[in-house]
Amino acid sequence: MTLRKLHGTSALIIAVYACVHIANHLVGLGGIEAHIAFMRAARLVYRFPGLEVLLLSAIAFQIYSGLTLVIRGWKQRQGFIPWLQAGAGAYLVFFFFIHVSAVLLGRTVLHLDTNFYFAAAGFHVPPFQFFFAPYYFLGVLGLFTHLGCALYWRLQARSRPARILAVALPSSVGFVVSLLIVLSLAGAFYPVQVPPEYKATYGWHP
């Protein structure tokens, strides 16, 4: 199997988790309690030791393989879709590395429950919102766009407009989903009172 095929296989594992994870954040549009209740139930599955090791190994492999593919194809890459795919992929390498390291550190070193408040804290301690808003927004948008580009290559036999739609549609959905999640974390839909222990990780004190 080539590295590219393995990258696609590992992406399937991550995509299954991403569906649950993004659904979790969308449930959060209905309130913090709903977000936390959904996560508590979903954790029974994705934190099951064997499955979590599989997921985290897939993420580690995706970072390695994604970076290798971006660098390896640098000189040959031509055209908008190949560069969009590589750009979104390169951002996902950065995002996965920071995001998963932060979650694991939060749990093991800071002994925090990495729930809604963990994700929202950065939005409520200035000036960290200027990092977290684009960081999360591009993470979700990058995922949808990157998957749309993968679909584009799978539809070689289809017309050009159908293939463009295969990228444009997921990217547009990703844009809206991303915006909604970021706005809910920032407190645009309901008041968000982040407990002090979460804000303290950003140097905040009462």
List of residues contacting ligand HEM (CB under 6 A) = 14, 17-18, 21, 25, 39, 43, 46-47, 52, 55-56, 59, 99-100, 103, 114, 118-119, 136, 139-140, 143, 181, 185
Taking the complex as a whole, how short is the minimal distance between the CB of residue 39 and ligand HEM, in angstroms? 5
Cα(95)–Cα(195) distance, integer angstroms: 25
Instruction: Report, in Å, the least distance between residue 70 CB and ligand HEM.
Output: 17
Which distant-in-sequence residues (6+ apart) come within 8 Å of 94 by Cβ?
none
The structure tokens 């934190």 sit at 47
Q: Which two tokens stand for residue 19?
A: 């569906």
Q: Which is nearer to ligand HEM, 47 or 77 (CB)?
A: 47
- For 11, other C-beta atoms within 10 Å of its C-beta total 21
Nearer to ligand HEM, 155 or 187 (CB): 187
From the CB of 123, what's the least distance to ligand HEM, in Å?
A: 10
Tokens representing 99 are 């995001």
Q: How far is the CB of 206 from ligand HEM (least distance, A)?
A: 24
Distance CA 100, CA 87 (A): 20
Report d(CA 146, CA 92) in Å as an integer. Answer: 9
> Which is nearer to ligand HEM, 114 or 164 (by Cβ)?
114
The smaller minimum CB distance to ligand HEM, of residues 118 and 152, is found at: 118
- Nearer to ligand HEM by Cβ, of 163 and 182: the residue is 182
Q: What is the dihedral of CA 78, 79, 82, 84, to 10 degrees?
A: 130
